[in-house]
Amino acid sequence: MTTFPYSDKYPINFKLPENGLDPTEVIETLNDIAKHEDAFWETGKCSGTMYCGDHEHYDFLNKAFSLFAHVNALQRDMCPGVTKFEAEIISMTLNLFNAQEVKGSEPAGLITTGGTGSIMHAILAYREHARNNLGIKNPNIIKPETAHPAFDKACHLFDVEIKIAPVDPVEFKADTDWIRQNIDDNTVAIIGSACNYGYGTIDPINELSDIALQHNIGLHVDGCLGGFILPFAKDLGYEIETFDFRVPGVTSISADTHKYGYALKGTSVLCFRDKNLRNSQYFYLTGWSGGKYCSPGMEGSRSAGLIAATWASMVKLGSAGYRKYAKEIFDTAEMMKKTVESYDELRILGSPSFLFSFTSDEFDIYHVNDFMKQLGWRFNGQQYPNAIHMAVTRPQTKPGVAESFAIDLAQAVDYAKAHKDDAPLSGAIYGGVAGGMTQEADEVIKMFMAQMMDEFQQVPENELRQ
């Protein structure tokens, strides 16, 4: 991690410039930095992160965003267009998850700022519903170990106990027997992923549904990663377990529009089988001297530009567009998986979808990561066991990328075999920043995070004197 990036090329603004910079100069600086950084993922060698990669589509979204960039989504009386966009985004997503087939309740939704936002709102909704309607004051949820850490964060912030269920060591899916045995009177919801971030596997949602219905508790399906691609893959003939509202025990689903929904970063949709569950997490303060205050989610001010751009992406692409990209992505993932499977030294973990993780029983897989990194590849790492994964996105579907993966992996396997007795250079930190990190590393992680945030804000002593 470089302290003060681009300091060799551009001055560092430790304080506001006395006189504003020339607008042309500002845009030229931004343009230069953006082109430099885009060149990294434009090769198609970056796992996940850049789900669309289409600059023409980005230009279209930026135009849509710019028309509402100055608008606060709170001001519905001034800007009713935001209500149209938001309502239609939610309706289209509910329809994608077959909420129209739900009987006996009124499905509803909420737009949040991303996957973590959707997960946090879901946990808050289950907590408030349990406290206000079921008399459960100390609720808990159960999640498989492979479910996203945002559930742990939400439980930490909202004082909800979290129980971590083990996963099958072969398929990397939730251990439903363990979940059955660990539900108690305070359990308000269980979690399933479609698919999980680490391995691209889908939990047994139908079996989890049976458990949820038997105990009269919620079932949240985390489709933040797969929600906008898995439904179309099933249409294309890929074997994808049903995970949406057609499964009777599913009570909420999260899906990120900023991933395979191909919208701008910063939006996600949280869907509920019943609007009463959604409404339970609303906040009201009617006695405030500034007027009656109510908020549909944790955020106050929200960008109408992001909502408009998300709506624009969805209606521009339509089902046919999403289906086309899903086919390209799944076909590419199959090609890349077959490449991995061609090596006796490599092993794919579980039964993955468009995202696949692989390891080795012959050497530490991070040797493969080390070599591939030199060739411009950026994988994401897992631990227990050490593994690396590729989340296939549209940049990987460009001509030649899958072929390049095959050529480079052959060299990487040879390198790993030659260096199997050496310690690898890389490890497993979420987001690809760096296996095998244990609890002793907690303080190191904290120091790293503090350094990352603080060093960028340090002001040299001579600047303080001025």
Between CA 427 and CA 3 the distance in angstroms is 21
Between CA 123 and CA 441 the distance in angstroms is 28
Where does 248-386 show beta strands of DSSP type E? Answer: 252-255, 268-272, 283-285, 293-295, 346-348, 355-360, 380-382
**Residue 2 confidence (pLDDT):** 59
Query: Secondary structure of the chain: what % helix, strand, coil (to 5)?
Result: 45, 15, 40
**Residue 62 confidence (pLDDT):** 98
Between CA 359 and CA 435 the distance in angstroms is 11
Dihedral of CA atoms 209, 214, 215, 219 in degrees, nearest 10, equals 10
Between CA 303 and CA 315 the distance in angstroms is 19
Q: What is the pLDDT of residues 348-388, one digit of tens each?
A: 999 999 999 999 999 999 999 999 999 999 999 999 999 99
* Token pair in block for residue 261: 């929904």
Indicate the helix (H) or strand (E) that contains 87: helix 80-96
Dihedral of CA atoms 243, 49, 63, 68 in degrees, nearest 10, equals 70
**Residue 327 confidence (pLDDT):** 97
Residue given tokens 């479910």 in the structure block? 147
Q: What residues does each domain of the chain span?
A: 68-314
The residues that bridge with 378 in the sheet, in sequence order, are: 46
**Residue 426 confidence (pLDDT):** 82
* Token pair in block for residue 50: 């850049």
Between CA 45 and CA 332 the distance in angstroms is 13
Between CA 218 and CA 192 the distance in angstroms is 11
Going from the C-alpha of 261 to that of each of 44, 85, 218, 229, the distances in angstroms are 19, 15, 26, 8
- What distance lies between CA 241 and its chain's CA centroid? 20
Between CA 70 and CA 259 the distance in angstroms is 24
* Token pair in block for residue 210: 């049976």
Quick one: CA dihedral 333, 335, 336, 338, positive or negative?
A: positive
**Residue 368 confidence (pLDDT):** 98
Neighbours of 446 (CB within 10 A): 10
> Hey, is 114 helix, strand or coil?
coil
- 68-314 has CATH 3.30.420.40 classification: no
**DSSP code at position 188:** E
* Token pair in block for residue 395: 């940049």
Q: If we measure between CA atoms, which residue out of 46, 15, 143 comes closest to residue 373?
A: 46
User: What residues of the chain score a pLDDT lower than 50?
Assistant: 432-440, 464-466
Q: Crossing angle of helices 80-96/304-341, nearest 10°?
A: 30
Q: Average per-residue pLDDT in the chain? A: 92
Going from the C-alpha of 35 to that of each of 23, 89, 138, 264, 325, the distances in angstroms are 18, 31, 50, 18, 25
Instruction: Specify the pTM.
Output: 0.92
Between CA 123 and CA 135 the distance in angstroms is 16
* Token pair in block for residue 379: 């994988």
Q: If we measure between CA atoms, which residue out of 155, 171, 220 comes closest to residue 163?
A: 155
